[in-house]
Structure 1
Amino acid sequence: MTYNSMTVQRAGQALLLLFVMVLIVSGCDDSPAGATQEDVAVETTTIAQTDEFLSIDVQIPTFIGFPGADSINQLISTSSDLAVAEIMGAALMMEQNEISNKATLDGSYLCYSFPEDDLYSVWITMANYTGGAHGISWIESYTFSAASGKMFAFSDLFEDAVEGPAYIEEKITEAISASGDFFPGAESELSKYQGDFPFYINGNQIVVYFSVYELAPYAAGITFFAFTDAALADLLRPEIAEAIRGRQPIV
C-alpha cells in the first residue's frame, strides 16, 4: 500500500486530498479466475477531505498491466478531477456566503471481469450536492478488452451493429410506454443516442442506464434497463454471449 498526497487551495487555506492506493491482483472482482491474456490489476484511489463546508469521499479505479490502461485511467482521472473541482467551487461559495451547509461528493465503483474471455466492465457511481433542494447522481462506465486495449461501444456487443441496438431501443420504448413513471414523450430522448447507449456488463446482464431527469423525474433517480444473456442470445456476438452466459450479477 502506498500513499500520495496533493495540496490544493481554497479561500487561502491548504486542503489535503489523500490518495490511497490498494493493489488488487487478478482482476477487479471475485469472478472465477481463468487463463488470462494479460496480467490485469486495479488500484483503488481514494480521494477524501472533510471540513466545515466540504466533504469528499471518492473511490476510483486505476488499471495497470495491459495496453490501453493509461488511456482508460486518463478518462477516469479527468472526470473525477472535474467533479472534485466543481465541489471545491461550491464549497468556496458556501464559505464566502456563510451558508451553513456542506458541498459533498461521494463516489464508488464496481467491476465485473471475465478474464478467460478478456472482457472487463467497470462502472463508477458519483453523487454530489452543490446547494439547492437536492444533489445529483450519475454513472460513468467503461467496458474493454485487456489484450487489445479496445474500449467497447454499445454496438460492438452485437453481431449486427444496427439490429442489436435497435432491438434494445424498441424494448426500452415499450417499457417507457407501459409505465407511468416517465416523462411524457420520454421515448423521443432515446433517438439522440443513435443506438450508442451508455451501458455496463454485470454478470449475465447488459445494463443500459440514463441520467437523472433524462427520462423521468428526480425521484426516479438513475434509470436502468437490464437485459439478460437469454433475452439477447440471438443478437450478441458469440464471444460476448459465451462470456456472460450464466454469470451472477454482483449487485
Structure 2
Amino acid sequence: MKGTLLRMTVSVLTVGTLVTSPLMTSAAALAGEGNGGLVSHAAGHATHQDVSSSNRLAVEAKKPNSINITKHTIEKTIPEAKIKVEYPQVSGLKNRAAEKIINTLLKTKAETFVANSIKEAKASQPSPSGNPYEYLGTYKVTYNENGVLSLLLETYAYTGGAHGITIREGLTFRLSDGKVLTLDELLRANPNYRSIVDPEIAKKLEETEGYFGNFKTIGPNPSYYVKDQGVVIFFQLYDYLPYVFGFPEFYFPFAKLLPPGADPFDFKSM
C-alpha cells in the first residue's frame, strides 16, 4: 500500500456553482503533509460569494483566536497493521476547563481509532493481499476566529481490495466553554435554514451523474464545518454518489442562511 495514491473528486456547492477539486489519500502523502493538514481535503478549494453590502454580516470583521494548536501523533506498528494518527491539541484558552474538554475529546477520538484499528486488524487476518493493513488519521483546521474553532477530522483504513475507506467528521467548538456546536445551534437565527439548503443540495445532486436518488433532507444533525464566511455541509462516501465522486460538499455563506445583521458567533442568546 505504501506509495499508492488514491484519487477522487470532491463536489462543492458555492452559491449555486458546482466546483470539483482533487482528493488524495496515501501513506506517502501523509508523510509529506505538514502543519497538521489533511491528506485528503477540500478545505483549500476556491470559493466565492455574491453578497451585497446591505446584507453582509457583522462577522466579516475577522477576530483571530489567540490560541495555540499543536499536532500530536500516535504511531503503532504491529505484524498485522501500520497505524498513524495525527490529532490537534489546543492551549492558551482563558478557560482552562474548556481547554481540557476540547483536548480530551480530540485525544480520545484518536486513541479510540487506534484501539479499534488494532482490534480490526488482528480479528480479520490473514490479509487478502498478504500485506499489513493501513490506518491513517489526520485533521484540518478550517476556521479559527471569533471564539470558534472548526476542525475537519479524517480517518482512512485500507484492509484490501481496490481502495480503502475514508470517513470524515466535522467538529466546531465554542472556545468559551468547549461546547461542540451543532449546525442548528450555529444557525439558530434561522431555525428554517433547511428550507434553503435542502432544495439546493437536492438540485445539485440530481444534476450529478450517478446520483443514487435518495436525498430528502440533511436531517436533524448534519455533518458540517465552518469555512470563510459560511459553512460546508458534507456527506460520507457512498451516501448519495458513487465512490469516484468522493465527499459531496456544499458551501453556503452565512449571508444566504441568516437574516441581515445576524452574527452566528454572538452566543449571548444561547
Return the TM-score normalized by structure 2: 0.64
Q: Give the drift of 1:33.
A: 8.3
Task: Give the whole-Å Cα distance in 1 for the aligned partners of 2:64 and 2:249.
Answer: 32
Contact 1:44 1:59 in 2 (8 A): yes
Contact 2:150 2:226 in 1 (8 A): yes
**Structure 1: 5+ residue runs without aligned partners?**
1-22, 25-31, 243-251
The one-letter amino acid paired with 2:226 is I
* Higher normalized contact order (CA 8 Å, seq sep 6+, divided by chain length): 2
1:42 equivalent to 2:69? Answer: yes
Task: Give the whole-Å Cα distance in 2 for the aligned partners of 1:180 and 1:231.
Answer: 27
The aligned counterpart of 2:215 is: 187
Contact 1:204 1:228 in 2 (8 A): yes
Contact 1:94 1:102 in 2 (8 A): no
1:83 equivalent to 2:113? Answer: yes
Task: Give the whole-Å Cα distance in 2 for the aligned partners of 1:77 and 1:160.
Answer: 32
Equivalent pairs counted in the alignment come to 205
Task: Give the whole-Å Cα distance in 1 for the aligned partners of 2:126 and 2:188.
Answer: 56
Which of 86, 89, 112 aligns to 1:59? It is 86
Q: Give the drift of 1:61.
A: 0.9
Q: Give the drift of 1:228.
A: 2.9
Q: Give the drift of 1:58.
A: 1.5
Q: Give the drift of 1:40.
A: 2.7
Taking a change above 3 Å as real, the CA distance of residues 161 and 72 of structure 1, as seen in their structure-2 partners, is farther
Contact 1:107 1:124 in 2 (8 A): yes
Which of 226, 244, 249 aligns to 1:201? It is 226
Contact 1:54 1:104 in 2 (8 A): yes
Task: Give the whole-Å Cα distance in 2 for the aligned partners of 1:236 and 1:105.
Answer: 45
Q: Within 5 Å, which residues of 2 pair with 1:56-135?
A: 56-64=83-91, 65=93, 66=95, 67-93=97-123, 100-115=130-145, 117-135=146-164
The aligned counterpart of 1:5 is: none
Taking a change above 3 Å as real, the CA distance of residues 168 and 126 of structure 1, as seen in their structure-2 partners, is same
Return the TM-score normalized by structure 1: 0.68
Taking a change above 3 Å as real, the CA distance of residues 235 and 104 of structure 1, as seen in their structure-2 partners, is farther
Task: Give the whole-Å Cα distance in 1 for the aligned partners of 2:70 and 2:247.
Answer: 27
Taking a change above 3 Å as real, the CA distance of residues 153 and 237 of structure 1, as seen in their structure-2 partners, is farther
Which of 207, 215, 231 aligns to 2:240? It is 215
RMSD: 3.2
Task: Give the whole-Å Cα distance in 2 for the aligned partners of 1:225 and 1:35.
Answer: 25
Q: Percent identity?
A: 21
Taking a change above 3 Å as real, the CA distance of residues 227 and 34 of structure 1, as seen in their structure-2 partners, is closer
The aligned counterpart of 2:6 is: none
Task: Give the whole-Å Cα distance in 1 for the aligned partners of 2:233 and 2:209.
Answer: 19
**Deviation string, structure 1 residues 116-147 (Cα, Å, up to 9, x no partner):** x2121111111111334431101122112212
Task: Give the whole-Å Cα distance in 2 for the aligned partners of 1:80 and 1:140.
Answer: 12
The aligned counterpart of 1:240 is: 264
Which of 169, 178, 195 aligns to 1:140? It is 169
Q: Within 5 Å, which residues of 2 pair with 1:157-172?
A: 157-172=186-201
Taking a change above 3 Å as real, the CA distance of residues 215 and 236 of structure 1, as seen in their structure-2 partners, is farther
**Deviation string, structure 1 residues 218-237 (Cα, Å, up to 9, x no partner):** 222222111234533x4487
Q: Give the drift of 1:215.
A: 1.4
